[in-house]
Amino acid sequence: MKIIISLFLFLFTVAFHLDTHAQTNNFPFEVVLKADSITGFNGLHSFAYGQRDGKVLLIGGRPDGIHARQPFNAFPASQNNQLLQVLDLSTKQYWSRPLVELSVALQEQLQSTNMNFYQDGNALVIAGGYAYSATANDHITFPYLTRIDLDGLIGAIMANTSIASFFEQIQDERFAVTGGNLAKIGAQFYLVGGHRFDGRYNPMNNPTFVQTYVDGLKKFELSPVGQPLAVQNYQLSTDQVNLHRRDYNLLPHIYPNGEAGYLISSGVFQLNADLPFLYPVEIKSSGHTPVNGFSQYLSAYHSSKFSLFDTANQTMHHLFLGGLSQYYYQNGTLLNDANVPFVKTISRLTQGPDGAYQEYVLATEMPALLGASAEFIHLEQVPHYASEIIDLAALSGDSILIGHVVGGIKSGSLNPFTQNNTNATDANTVIYEVWLKRAPNNGLEVHGPEGDLNVEVFPNPSASDVNLNFSFEQKHNIELFVLDANGKLVHEVYYEKVKKAKKVLDVKALGLKPGPYTLQFIIDDQQTLTKQIGLR
């Protein structure tokens, strides 16, 4: 659910300047969007999809706009997508099929919003999703895991033959998650972040719903295709601070050492602030790590995006197309709007071979306030790695069609939600071809206001008190979270207007037992610093 809460509004300025970081600003393309349409496709957002041989299957989502503020009017069942839709983006053909011939459990899950999904070869795996359930007589997050035979289902929809045999579904409360992301590393699936939301949305947090964040990631394996669907080797890793996220972008990522993993980009809401996260989190098979000392400003919620890896320069690029963002540029000034408005921004996040991250804003913008809850669907014949990361070095030609932006929410104003004008939003019916056109290195480096921040922690390890030495040049507000070895939050404290100061954690008074701990410092609700300590 794309819920935006207003707290404050302020702005600061930052000058654009030409980038001198050769490691990260070596992206020799500009993005070109070309509008198109397919007769029969009337717009959709927050859906799941899979594709095979040029045919794209769309499941669930909604044809309306951003949800209303009034509980009785939010997520009406009449606006659930109750069609299975197939698009051929090359020939502009369209097919659809109603869900009514499926079981009630399948019908209810597959018309839901913000399902977690991952395409694993010919199998599309779907977990959870949120919508009205006639069975429960309420809005719920569905406790189902479903596996779909894409070839069989797409072929049956196009041929107008029976579809029921192409679905497997099991009920499992562990998969009652919406707004997270489903991924895979090796043989293991990763269900990352998200939350369980049962009941009616309420902007005043009145008791019309029950919400529980996953606060972690769930790793599991599935039985092979051809055997009954079953979950195997399930594990839950908890992090109540860094993985307290939903409605974010999960990016397939190749790290400087060549390891394949993922990167969490932004999402909402911070544990003690109704604001997006501004720091990414790296996910590898060995675990997850917040990216310290770096802030990504220009993309906050789930949006259309694509990724490229450049073997020649050993750089990883992620491009974000529109969406919603706390920060955006206007006339060369970086504005901070805590309402998290719709934006036209096209931005790039790059990791260089030295591991450093940098963000850039591109000169090209989206043609309107769109891209939120849309999907970028890559062109299958474009050279890419197994994770759909485009192989930049293998691209040929001066202008390359790499995929399409399908669906999403289009808005007529920056902040329709906080202005109680959600009727000014709608699902986007325009499909955009996405082209890369060769051009000199482009993109202007984004710089925020925080500067170089650090905290000295000593002694480490410690048998008694832990000292925190702050030596900032300016005053900052600090939220400190202490997490144990299991990622459980065991203590939190707020330090206001800290500049040069020493604070003390009284280990005995806090009842902290011997063992490893993580100190997570959130500075001005923006930058993160992480320190590992040992108590003995």
Residue 15 sits in the same domain as residue 107: yes
The answer to whether residues 314 and 328 touch, using CB atoms and an 8 Å cutoff, is no
The residue from 445, 476, 505 where one domain ends is 445
CA 375 vs CA 87, 108, 203, 500, 521: distances in Å: 13, 22, 27, 46, 33
The answer, yes or no, to whether residue 239 has pLDDT greater than 90, is yes
pLDDT at 13 (0 to 100) = 29
Q: Tell me whether residue 414 is in a domain.
A: yes
Residues spanned by the domain of 383: 9-445
CA atoms of 534 and 536, how far apart (whole Å):
7
Q: Which residues contact 438 (CB under 8 A, 6 or more apart)?
A: 28, 29, 398, 399
Residue 327 sits in the same domain as residue 440: yes
3-state class of 257 per DSSP? coil
pLDDT at 265 (0 to 100) = 98
Q: Tell me whether residue 2 is in a domain.
A: no
Which of 143 and 473 is assigned the larger pLDDT? 143
Question: How do residues 314-346 score in pLDDT, each as one tens digit?
Answer: 999 999 999 999 999 998 899 999 999 999 999
Residues 428-453, mean pLDDT to the nearest whole number: 86
1 falls in which pLDDT band (50, 70, 90)? very low
Residues 448-458, mean pLDDT to the nearest whole number: 77
pLDDT at 285 (0 to 100) = 97
The answer, yes or no, to whether residue 2 has pLDDT greater than 60, is no
176 torsion bin: left (phi>0), alpha (psi -120 to 50), beta (else)? beta
Residue 334 sits in the same domain as residue 368: yes
The answer, yes or no, to whether residue 19 has pLDDT greater than 60, is no
pLDDT at 22 (0 to 100) = 53
DSSP string, 511-529: TPPSEEEEEEEEETTTEEE
Of 131, 130, 17, 104, nearest in space to 445 by CA: 17
Pick from 48-52, 264-268, 451-455: least confident? 451-455
CA atoms of 147 and 222, how far apart (whole Å):
10
450 falls in which pLDDT band (50, 70, 90)? low
Q: Tell me whether residue 474 is in a domain.
A: yes
Strand partners of residue 237: 217
Of 211, 187, 182, 216, nearest in space to 199 by CA: 211
The residue from 397, 413, 445 where one domain ends is 445
How many residues appear in the chain? 536
Burial class of residue 508 in the structure, from the number of CB atoms within 10 Å of its CB (0-12 exposed, 13-18 middle, 19+ buried): exposed
Question: How do residues 51-82 score in pLDDT, each as one tens digit?
Answer: 999 999 999 999 999 998 889 889 999 999 99
Give the single-character DSSP code of 12. Answer: -
What token pair was written down for 157?
A: 């929809």
Residue 354 sits in the same domain as residue 435: yes
pLDDT at 451 (0 to 100) = 60
Q: What's the domain count of the chain?
A: 2
| DSSP element (H, E) containing 472 | strand 466-483
Whose structure tokens read 């060769």?
438
What token pair was written down for 244?
A: 């307290």
Of 136, 23, 42, nearest in space to 83 by CA: 42
Residue 289 sits in the same domain as residue 359: yes
Peptide bond into 166 cis (omega under 30): no
Residue 438 sits in the same domain as residue 490: no
Question: How do residues 241-299 score in pLDDT, each as one tens digit?
Answer: 999 999 999 999 999 999 999 999 999 999 989 999 999 999 999 999 999 889 999 99
Q: Tell me whether residue 320 is in a domain.
A: yes
Residue 257 sits in the same domain as residue 225: yes
Residue 357 sits in the same domain as residue 459: no
The residue from 423, 445, 467 where one domain ends is 445
The answer to whether residues 178 and 129 touch, using CB atoms and an 8 Å cutoff, is yes
pLDDT at 158 (0 to 100) = 98
Q: Tell me whether residue 450 is in a domain.
A: no
Residue 434 sits in the same domain as residue 526: no
Whose structure tokens read 């005043």?
204
What CATH number did the domain enclosing 17 receive?
A: 2.120.10.80
Residue 466 sits in the same domain as residue 350: no
Longest dimension (CA), the chain: 72
The answer, yes or no, to whether residue 139 has pLDDT greater than 50, is yes
Strand partners of residue 402: none
Q: Tell me whether residue 3 is in a domain.
A: no
Q: Tell me whether residue 1 is in a domain.
A: no
CA atoms of 125 and 404, how far apart (whole Å):
22
The answer to whether residues 2 and 64 touch, using CB atoms and an 8 Å cutoff, is no
- Percent of the chain exceeding pLDDT 90 equals 85
Residues 14-37, mean pLDDT to the nearest whole number: 71
What token pair was written down for 287?
A: 């675990």
Of 121, 148, 118, nearest in space to 52 by CA: 121
What CATH number did the domain enclosing 473 receive?
A: 2.60.40.3080
527 falls in which pLDDT band (50, 70, 90)? confident
Give the single-character DSSP code of 121. Answer: T
Residue 85 CB neighbour total at 10 angstroms: 22
Residue 521 sits in the same domain as residue 421: no
Pick from 9-23, 126-140, 365-379: least confident? 9-23
Residue 398 CB neighbour total at 10 angstroms: 9
pTM over the 0.75 mark? yes
pLDDT at 442 (0 to 100) = 74
CA atoms of 489 and 479, how far apart (whole Å):
13
CA atoms of 189 and 180, how far apart (whole Å):
13
pLDDT at 251 (0 to 100) = 98
Residue 254 sits in the same domain as residue 331: yes
The amino acid present at 373, given as its one-letter code, is S
Mean predicted lDDT score pLDDT of the chain: 93
Q: Tell me whether residue 4 is in a domain.
A: no
